[in-house]
Amino acid sequence: MTATSGSLVRGARNPGSQGALRHLNQERLFEFLLANGPSTQAELARGTGLSTATVSNIVRDMAAKGVVATSPVNSGGRRALLVQLTDTGDIAVGVDFGRRHVRIVLTTLGYEVLAEEAIALPLGYDVDESLQAASDLIDRMLAANGWERESVLSVGVGIPGPIDRRTGTVLQGAILPEWVGVNLRDLENAFRFPVVVDNDANLGALAEVAWGANRGVRNLIFVKIGSGIGAGLILNGQPYYGYLGITGELGHTPVTEHGVICRCGNRGCLETVASTTVMLESLGRGSETPVTTEDILRKGLQRDPATLRVVGDAGSAIGQAIANIANVINPELVLIGGPLAGLGDALLDPIRHGILQNAIPVIGETTTVRMSSLGDRAESLGAAALVIQASLAGRD
């Protein structure tokens, strides 16, 4: 397996600083080596567009910190320095808790997926029991592949709710109220590993620029549509967390003045008109059997008029809320994730229409809207990416 170690940071927090520029250049070299394998410094310069002097300095720094190894080779009749990522065997673990599932992925620091598994959880599950189930699953996955627990750097955990980054505590407003009050120490006690934690939508956004087809996109909104509606923001190549870490609460954006009271206490929030829960309630009226998300997907793809109307109304409202954010941050790309991603254009078209109706024309016309490239894997892969970034940054 291929893994890397050292102090590489995939971006930096202060994009205008010299340190940030150095980190961004390190990232360019790192990603070129991931995609192309061992390369000479001349090949790195050509492939990244950096000067040979800059490449030489960065390689020297990365080698000193253990990120890369170098060896002399003959290239075109001349002696050159071959650069390759080091292999340490370190493992990052990503864990995504959903309303009815937990998904776990094990990866190398070189963004290679080693193992992946998901198990079902009962609706309204007990948090302690779910944490134990996830911890046991990690142990089974490690044992099944012959890896020691000591190989794990840390565990990234995604939770569907706002998280105070000062304490790692899940705050009131989580779509799973059972999680409210759970903090970083609780998670570390349960997993018996160091833990990093984030909101699931933030992790979906991070995954898209770390793993997905959208690597390199600098300004992006990832919208997860489910029982709650959350957004993760990538601004200037970095996740945006604001002051406390409570950003992207798209579901609590008011979209109708005289709407119903939301669980957050406000009136007419997006979540009260466009969540999957509301869609299921609308389509289930008069039905003898409960309507499921799978029913929405199936009937939507069959062009059932009632399903398309409910999905269309929800999509237009979501587009309106996205437009409000787009007018402020001018994203290049909006990605839609969550359990209804399989609807494709049946959901995307009304979202696009809502954006065009409510955004500044030039923003609406130049913002691309499409489905997530990672499906239901986005949040767990984002959690693993969080581990990789935190681990490598901590060695700076």
Do residue 142 and residue 195 come from a single domain? yes
- Give the predicted TM-score (pTM) of the model: 0.82
C-alpha pair distances (Å), 179 with each of 28, 67, 162, 242:
38, 37, 10, 22
- Phi, psi dihedral angles at 169 (to 5 degrees): -105, 135
Give the CATH number for residue 45.
1.10.10.10
Q: Nearest-CA neighbor of 210 among 65, 107, 141?
A: 107
Q: Cβ(366)–Cβ(334) under 8 Å?
A: no
- Give the distance from CA 97 to its chain's centroid: 13
Do residue 99 and residue 73 come from a single domain? no
Most confident of 172-181, 202-211, 246-255, 360-369: 360-369
| pLDDT category of residue 11 using cuts at 50, 70 and 90 | very low
179 lies in which domain range?
A: 91-205+377-393
* Beta-strand relationship, 91-97 and 152-159: parallel
- pLDDT above 70 for 221: yes
132-144 pLDDT per residue, tens: 999 999 999 999 9
Q: How many domains does the chain contain in total? A: 3
Of 85, 113, 142, which closes a domain? 85
Q: Rounded to whole angstroms, how far apart are CA atoms 255 and 257?
A: 7
Q: How many helices (H) and strands (E) does the chain have?
A: 13, 15
Q: Which amino acid is at 273?
A: V
Do residue 32 and residue 106 come from a single domain? no
Of 85, 115, 139, which closes a domain? 85
Do residue 227 and residue 364 come from a single domain? yes
Residue 379 parent element (H or E): helix 378-393
In a domain, 3, yes or no: no
Of 67, 85, 103, which closes a domain? 85
Do residue 220 and residue 128 come from a single domain? no
The DSSP line for 102-158 is: EEEEEEETTS-EEEEEEEE--TT--HHHHHHHHHHHHHHHHHHTT--GGGEEEEEEE
